Amino acid sequence: MTYLADPTRYDARSDGTATFRRTGRSGLLLPAISLGLWHNFGDGRPLETQRAILRRAFDRGVTHIDLANNYGPPYGSAESNFGTIYAQDLRPYRDELILSTKAGYDMWPGPYGQGGGSRKYLLASLDQSLARMGVDYVDIFYSHRFDPDTPLEETMGALDTAVRSGRALYAGISSYSGERTREAAAILRDLGTPLLIHQPSYSMLNRWIEEDLLDVLGDEGIGCIAFSPLAQGMLTGRYLDGVPADSRAAQDTSLSPDLLTEQTLHHVRALNDMAAARGQSLAQLALAWALRDERVTSVLIGASSVEQLDDNLGALDHLGFDDDELKRIDEHAVD
Ligand code: NDP
């Protein structure tokens, strides 16, 4: 059936959806919760489930969808599947969407597709991504990782070209250290293409950006979109009673069940109790916590069902924390 987006998708609601935050000192607003297609959008997942999640997200004001060249499996399939659904459902809404993709990890055979940050790889990969997604441009193009073997000037030069050639509107970097981020920002500034955003990992179980990165992003006016804010599902109710057969830990190597140690589960259970005391699910607590610092523009979640997406968006109902709560959370939000 023809998709018509919910006409109330941007209305201020008591459930807090359609909450937008400024990306650093740029003009771009992003939804506080964005949706990533790393998992659950490959060829092994029913297209109708993918479509239902994407429609629901857009209907609830999630305007930002994040991709990368190698999301799947197989590589490229998340972009292709998104492209199919985009052509059928979302194309009329292109100007309401922020679409991003990335290049940095291995993608195709031979020396030019093995990842890294060369100009050759980045621009060829971006052209392939645009073709798979069926769009003329992406809103944000990322260097997916710092490449110690390529001069940073070359990688940033490729991002600048992506923007100047109209293939991307903004430039981003992912998982760069604070120091490399400063260097990248300076190079891009000189080129005349500001660095819009950094995409680091960040969650209650992974707090490196508080030490190394957030001050740099704040100083430089760069936005921050935190990936895996639920620690791939560990900061939800998913693993409180074992490892379900349909879960990521059971099905995918990206989340090893070995990470679910007794010590981690002890912290997760304590956080779950605190969430219950606030009238939230654990996932909602984890997302609200990751958004407590205004330098974090958006949290980038994954979802394998509409129910998970809805649960996560419910975080926006209750974002605030008092000092006492934050102190008690600190005892259990440990790397
Ligand atoms: P999350 O930490 O949000 O983990 C998502 C997974 O957690 C889901 O697939 C699901 O697992 C489980 N989950 C989510 N919500 C709930 C819920 N309410 N209740 C129970 N379980 C839940 O993020 P991801 O690790 O998926 O990463 C999100 C996005 O970040 C990616 O899609 C990608 O866009 C980006 N990313 C970027 C990286 C980079 O290098 N730049 C690296 C990694 C991610 P299950 O499948 O078990 O149901």
Give per-residue pLDDT as tens, 167-199: 999 999 999 999 999 999 999 999 999 999 999
Report, as an integer, the average pLDDT of 10-23.
80
Range of the domain at 207: 27-330
Residue 4 lies in a domain: no
Confidence band, pLDDT 50/70/90 cuts, at residue 12:
confident
Residue 291 lies in a domain: yes
- The helix or strand, by DSSP H or E, that contains position 81, with its residue range, turns out to be helix 77-85
The pTM of the full predicted model, rounded to 2 decimals, is 0.98
> Which of 62, 173, 236 for a ligand 1 pocket mutation test, highest count of atoms within 8 Å of Cβ?
236
> Which of 30, 37, 38 for a ligand 1 pocket mutation test, highest count of atoms within 8 Å of Cβ?
38
Distance 192 CA to ligand 1 centre (A): 34
CATH number, residue 78: 3.20.20.100
Distance 232 CA to ligand 1 centre (A): 5
CA gap 246, 237 in Å, rounded: 14
Residue 3 lies in a domain: no
Q: Are 177 and 213 in contact (CB under 8 A)?
A: yes
Residue 20 lies in a domain: no
> Which of 34, 35, 39, 203 for a ligand 1 pocket mutation test, highest count of atoms within 8 Å of Cβ?
39
Per residue in 93-119, pLDDT (tens digit) is: 999 999 999 999 999 999 999 999 999
**pLDDT in the model for residue 210:** 98
Residue 45 lies in a domain: yes
Distance 205 CA to ligand 1 centre (A): 14
Distance 157 CA to ligand 1 centre (A): 31
Closest C-alpha to 329, from 238, 215, 205: 205
**pLDDT in the model for residue 335:** 80
Residue 176 lies in a domain: yes
- How many domains does the chain fold into? 1
Q: Residue 14: pLDDT above 90?
A: no
CA 317 to chain centre: 20
Per residue in 147-164, pLDDT (tens digit) is: 999 999 999 999 999 999
Q: 202: Cβ below 6 Å to ligand 1?
A: no
Question: SS in 3 state form for 22-61?
Answer: ECCCCCCEEECEEEECCCCCCCCCCHHHHHHHHHHHHHCC
User: Does this complex have an ipTM over 0.90?
Assistant: yes
Per residue in 271-327, pLDDT (tens digit) is: 999 999 999 999 999 999 999 999 999 999 999 999 999 999 999 999 999 999 999
CA gap 140, 287 in Å, rounded: 23
Residue 310 lies in a domain: yes
Q: How far is CA 107 from CA 128, 139, 207, 243, 324, in A?
A: 11, 21, 29, 31, 47
Q: How many CB atoms lie within 10 A of CB 4?
A: 10
Residue 234 lies in a domain: yes
Phi, psi (rounded to 5 degrees) for 39: -110, 165
CA gap 168, 146 in Å, rounded: 19
> Which of 230, 235, 247 for a ligand 1 pocket mutation test, highest count of atoms within 8 Å of Cβ?
230
Q: 298: Cβ below 6 Å to ligand 1?
A: no
Indicate which residue's Cα is closest to atom 17 of ligand 1: 308
Per residue in 277-289, pLDDT (tens digit) is: 999 999 999 999 9
The number of the ligand 1 atom at minimal distance from the alpha carbon of 311 is 18
Closest C-alpha to 295, from 178, 205, 128: 178
Distance 238 CA to ligand 1 centre (A): 12
The strand pairing partners of 98, in sequence order, are 64
State the average pLDDT for the chain.
96
Report, as an integer, the average pLDDT of 227-240.
97
